[in-house]
């Protein structure tokens, strides 16, 4: 059809059917609207756009196109707008034509017989309930022949379920039994499972489920359609009854007027089409929901991965920032110590030269005078000053070391033996020395390290008393957390006291030279310890809490007697 022909047809239809509820649609084989016209407004049908699926406008056409035959007639179809229409479809060479018209009067005419049919169905249902009671009593009395004739008179086909869940025909079959696909098996008295039924399969499964749950309420299947051998459509209805422990399935052939039958069949088609549309919409909704859930899961995984990477990056940044702060602090401390050490070394050298003159002249004076108590006091003071100069030179790294293998256990025991005589009664010492390993260092300086730390520990408890704990252990440290330490094996010396602890505000200053909290202290004890330990390749840390005591931990690299490279460094 050309556009010119379509405009002529539209003009004729519009003028001829202006006051009548008639409309037409011309579609392609897939149902896309090509042309349309007539009184769409009167039928409450919206104007379509070209290639709109006709099923979007008229849901009853869903699945009908392309037509298998040349034409199809549909009756009493209720549109979503509430208008009842009849329709006729024609198959052309390349298109399909659909004509619909208002059939509201026809529907009103059919409503009366349909109501009568519904009332008749209700009456039959009541009779079936009475029959259930009668069935139980009569079977108990052995009047089976009477019941068979009774069911046959009512034109019912009655099936009884046996213990295996299969159905057998009860009595003689009615005249319409051949309209059922299962007629041959019923006549031959063969058992039927639910799989042998077409429409009733799901219904029978539901009934069996109810019977298993001891629910013996009468259950109705509603009308269904079967096509007999002549190709005619027949209406059937099934009802279940339970009487005296017997489960019965009663099937009736619902006879009705041709017009009523066509109306009921058409209503069934409308319901089927509506159900198919709802099912299709449900599938689309499920598909959209599945796609949405998949996208949400994918997005969630992406966000989790991004969050994980962000967490790793933040942790790395925090770690790098902490390391940077630590390095800057170490650099600041190193520069400060270097500057003070340089200054102290220069002063110590000059002072040592002065002391050499004092000691030399004092010794000459004592030789000329033949001794003398005052000269000896001057000489003792000069020697103490020389010891102080030696400490300053050690701190400033300007004194050469004579390193040799040192068994740290032996040095610790010597120091503990020395300090026990000077300890107050209220202070005790506990030791746990678990290693006899060697370190490479100056024995005198290591003695000085242990003595300084032990002395500080017991002096912190001099007033209140307490316990000094000395623990020596050996451990492999693959990934040291202590700054300046390299992976390897270490002797770990931990000296702990139970004194008042160290305030937080001064804990970072305790290794600074000339910093002291004692009235008679020189401020060189811990700074010298720090310097000596560092020269051995080790490190010293402190863990102190106010009112909780303090722990000084010293790490010394273990010296292996089999290490030839280290042996070359001795002497």
Q: How far apart are the first and last CA of the chain?
A: 116
In which residue are the tokens 């002529």 written? 8
pLDDT value at residue 472: 94
The CA distances from residue 345 to 83, 204, 306, 391, 565, in Å, are 112, 107, 56, 10, 31
The number of residues making up the chain comes to 571
The CA distances from residue 267 to 22, 76, 251, 253, in Å, are 21, 8, 21, 18
User: What is the C-alpha to C-alpha distance for residues 351 and 393, in angstroms, rounded to an integer?
Assistant: 11
pLDDT value at residue 544: 80
Structural domains in the chain, CATH included, are 3-102 (3.30.450.20), 108-256 (3.30.450.20), 292-398 (1.10.287), 400-567 (3.30.565.10)
User: What is the C-alpha to C-alpha distance for residues 298 and 304, in angstroms, rounded to an integer?
Assistant: 10
pLDDT value at residue 328: 74
The CA distances from residue 396 to 44, 123, 524, in Å, are 105, 119, 11
Give me the phi and psi of 235, to 5 degrees please.
-100, 135
pLDDT value at residue 258: 47
Residue 295 CB burial class (10 angstroms; 0-12, 13-18, ≥19): exposed
Whether the CB-CB separation of 445 and 401 falls below 8 Å is answered with yes
In which residue are the tokens 């769409």 written? 40
Which H or E element spans position 312?
helix 258-369
Pick the closest to residue 24 from 35, 15, 16 (CA basis).
35
Triad 109, 115, 117: Cα angle to 5°:
110
User: What is the C-alpha to C-alpha distance for residues 492 and 485, in angstroms, rounded to an integer?
Assistant: 12
Q: Where on the phi/psi map is residue 245: left (φ > 0), alpha (ψ -120 to 50), or beta?
A: left
**Which stretches of 370-442 are DSSP H helices?**
373-395, 408-420
Report the side by side order of strands in the sheet with 488-497: 427-433, 466-477, 488-497, 550-557, 539-544
pLDDT value at residue 175: 78
Give me the phi and psi of 131, to 5 degrees please.
-65, -35
Pick the closest to residue 253 from 350, 353, 355, 157 (CA basis).
157
Interacting residues of 320 by C-beta distance below 8 A, sequence separation 6+? none
Averaged in consecutive runs of 10 residues, what is the pLDDT profile of the chain (571 residues)? 56 55 86 85 86 87 83 82 85 87 70 57 58 51 61 77 84 80 80 73 81 77 72 77 77 61 59 66 80 88 90 88 76 66 68 80 82 80 75 59 84 87 85 90 85 86 87 89 84 90 78 67 72 86 80 91 50 41
Q: Please give the torsion angle defined by the CA atoms of residues 324, 329, 330 and 336, in that order, rounded to the nearest 10 degrees.
A: 150
pLDDT value at residue 523: 61
Interacting residues of 305 by C-beta distance below 8 A, sequence separation 6+? none
Query: Looking at the whole model, is its pTM more than 0.75?
Result: no
The alpha carbon of 287 is separated from its chain's Cα centroid by a whole number of angstroms, namely 23
Pick the closest to residue 116 from 224, 223, 256, 251 (CA basis).
256
């Amino acid at each position: 059809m050309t556009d010119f022909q379509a405009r002529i047809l539209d003009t004729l239809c519009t003028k001829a059917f202006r006051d009548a509820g008639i409309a037409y649609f011309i579609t392609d084989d897939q149902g896309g609207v090509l042309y349309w016209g007539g009184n769409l407004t009167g039928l409450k049908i919206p104007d379509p756009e070209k290639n709109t699926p006709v099923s979007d406008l008229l849901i009853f056409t869903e699945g009908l196109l392309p037509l298998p035959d040349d034409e199809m007639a549909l009756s009493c179809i209720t549109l979503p707008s509430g208008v009842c229409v009849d329709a006729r479809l024609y198959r052309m060479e390349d298109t399909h034509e659909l004509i619909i018209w208002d059939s509201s009067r026809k529907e009103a005419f059919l409503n009366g017989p349909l109501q009568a049919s519904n009332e008749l169905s209700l009456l039959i249902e009541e009779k079936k309930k009475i029959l259930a009671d009668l069935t139980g009593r009569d079977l108990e009395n052995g009047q089976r022949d009477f019941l068979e004739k009774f069911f046959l008179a009512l034109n019912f086909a009655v099936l009884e379920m046996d213990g295996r869940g299969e159905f057998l025909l009860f009595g003689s079959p009615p005249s319409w039994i051949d309209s059922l696909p299962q007629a041959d098996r019923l006549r031959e008295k063969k058992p039927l499972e639910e799989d042998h039924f077409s429409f009733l399969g799901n219904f029978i499964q539901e009934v069996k489920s109810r019977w298993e749950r001891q629910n013996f309420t009468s259950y109705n299947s509603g009308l269904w359609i079967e096509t007999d051998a002549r190709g005619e459509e027949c209406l059937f209805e099934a009802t279940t009854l339970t009487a005296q422990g017997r489960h019965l399935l009663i099937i009736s052939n619902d006879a009705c007027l041709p017009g009523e039958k066509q109306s009921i069949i058409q209503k069934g088609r409308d319901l089927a089409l509506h159900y198919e549309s709802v099912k299709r919409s449900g599938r689309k909704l499920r598909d959209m929901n599945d796609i949405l859930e998949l996208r949400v899961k994918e997005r969630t995984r992406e966000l989790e991965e991004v969050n994980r990477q962000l967490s790793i990056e933040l942790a790395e940044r925090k770690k790098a920032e902490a390391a940077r702060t630590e390095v800057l602090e170490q650099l600041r401390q190193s520069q400060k110590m270097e500057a003070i050490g340089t200054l102290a070394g220069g002063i110590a050298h000059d002072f040592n030269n002065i002391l050499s003159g004092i000691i030399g002249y004092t010794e000459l004076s004592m030789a000329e005078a033949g001794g003398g108590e005052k000269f000896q006091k001057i000489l003792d003071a000069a020697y103490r000053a020389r010891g102080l100069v030696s400490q300053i030179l050690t701190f400033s790294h300007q004194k050469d070391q004579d390193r040799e293998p040192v068994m740290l256990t032996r040095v610790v025991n010597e120091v503990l033996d020395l300090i026990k005589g000077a300890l107050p009664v209220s202070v005790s010492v506990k030791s746990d020395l678990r290693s006899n390993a060697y370190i490479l260092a100056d024995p005198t300086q290591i003695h000085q390290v242990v003595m300084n730390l032990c002395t500080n520990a017991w002096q912190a408890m001099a007033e209140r008393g307490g316990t000094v704990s000395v623990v020596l252990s050996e451990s492999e440290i693959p990934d040291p957390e202590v700054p300046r330490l390299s992976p390897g094996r270490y002797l770990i010396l931990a000296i702990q006291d139970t004194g008042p602890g160290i305030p937080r505000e001064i804990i970072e200053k305790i290794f600074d030279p000339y910093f002291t909290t004692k009235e008679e202290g020189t401020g060189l004890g811990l700074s010298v310890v720090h310097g000596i330990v560092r020269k051995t390749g080790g490190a010293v840390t402190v863990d102190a809490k106010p009112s909780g005591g303090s722990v000084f931990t010293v790490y010394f690299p273990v010296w292996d007697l089999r290490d030839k490279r280290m042996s070359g460094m001795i002497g």
